[in-house]
Amino acid sequence: MQLCWRPDYVESSKLDPATAPLIWWSNGGPGCSGLLGLLTEHGPFRMATAPATGLVPFDFAWNQLANVLYVDAPAGVGFSFSNDASDYSTGDAQTADDNLRAIQEFLKRFPEQSANDLYLSSESYGGHYVPTLAAVIIRSQSLPNFKGFLLGNPLTDIYEEALWGQAGTLCGHSLASAPTCANFTLHCLGASGMDAECPLAHAAVVAESGDGIDTYGLDYPTCPQQAQARTLLRHLYPDKQLLQGASSPFAVRLSAVDPAYDPCLQSEEAVYMSRADVHAALRVSPKAFAWQPCTRNIAYNQSDFMSSMEPLYTGLLASKANLRMLIFSGDDDSVCATLGTFSVFTRINC
């Protein structure tokens, strides 16, 4: 199998690359390209306002402090591919094994990075990728400089995120009415836990909040051609129940938002990644799929998707690896919400 981890995807630190830590990065999904992180989040470049004109520098890039390896995984995501179509049916364990091999091969080709501290980082479904990969690395004993990981708004427990986390965040932002939120509290957050009416009560909160908001940034404007938020939600909630609802009065450009904020970066990146000269520069294989922010070309194990990461964290904390683990959340994300993360990690008591 060939994973998409070319040197083109490695951004050297503006400090001394020979001693700066190496950060492995992949986006979530499952099925979202690591190049979203590179060109829309914390890489050294962004697309110019008109995508055909190329790239412009980004002043707050992570490579000011670290060497960053951007990875498309699992196979079939972004420009990555496999010669065996069965690899497009995958799950947490296979993805972790493939990522471990990718890191090992990368360090063989770039041995100057082998002595540097190694950290993992991701977001969203990376809440599964990263702790699973961390456990595999520890068991393999093959990366002695592995020091820990950092995760932003991670999906850790689908029930905590989708129920208490998501609906609680939408209600906390006053995006659903008081009676609808009270009904959710009654059926989902009672002393005896959620009852049979909880799924409907939760769906009512989501539906009432509408579909004209950025569910990953509730206080920010949406892109005029923004099908992306709904596409990402379909990855996270394939039952479609959570996508119901009328258009929302909250799809308004907020004057308080930084005018430099561009809500259309993902759409612009899709245009940029379709360019023939970009394909040539990255030496994209003709076997690769057309680049999408989040692909539907993989079949991901739904049992893995529904699994809680709590046992993995318990094992990592009990291990002798002495990992440094940073979990951080922005409270504007209603999909992998801060409230759900709080609930899980309070229970883990780390």
Q: pLDDT tens digits, residue range 62-121?
A: 999 999 999 999 999 999 999 999 999 999 999 999 999 999 999 999 999 999 999 999
- The whole-number pLDDT of residue 47 equals 82
Task: Please tell me the distance from the alpha carbon of residue 79 to that of residue 341, in angstroms, as a whole number.
Answer: 31
Note whether 67 and 7 are within 8 A (CB): no
pLDDT more than 90, % of the chain:
56
Q: 8 pLDDT exceeds 70?
A: no
* The amino acid at 236: L
Note whether 112 and 33 are within 8 A (CB): no
State pTM to two decimals.
0.85
Instruction: Give pLDDT tens digits for 278-289.
Output: 999 989 999 999
Note whether 340 and 164 are within 8 A (CB): yes
Instruction: Give pLDDT tens digits for 297-332.
Output: 999 999 999 999 999 999 999 998 999 999 999 888
5: its two tokens: 């981890």
Instruction: Give pLDDT tens digits for 152-198.
Output: 999 999 888 767 789 999 999 999 999 999 999 999 888 887 889 98
Instruction: Give pLDDT tens digits for 16-75.
Output: 888 999 999 999 989 999 999 999 999 999 888 766 678 889 999 999 999 999 999 999
Domains and CATH numbers, the chain: 7-158+261-348 (3.40.50.1820), 160-243 (no CATH)
Average pLDDT of span 263-274:
85
- Please name the residues in contact with 209: beta carbons below 8 A apart, sequence gap of 6 or more: 170, 175, 176, 245, 248, 250, 334
DSSP bridge partners of 94: none
Q: 233 pLDDT exceeds 60?
A: no
The burial of 78, by beta-carbon neighbours within 10 Å (0-12 exposed, 13-18 middle, 19 or more buried), is given as buried
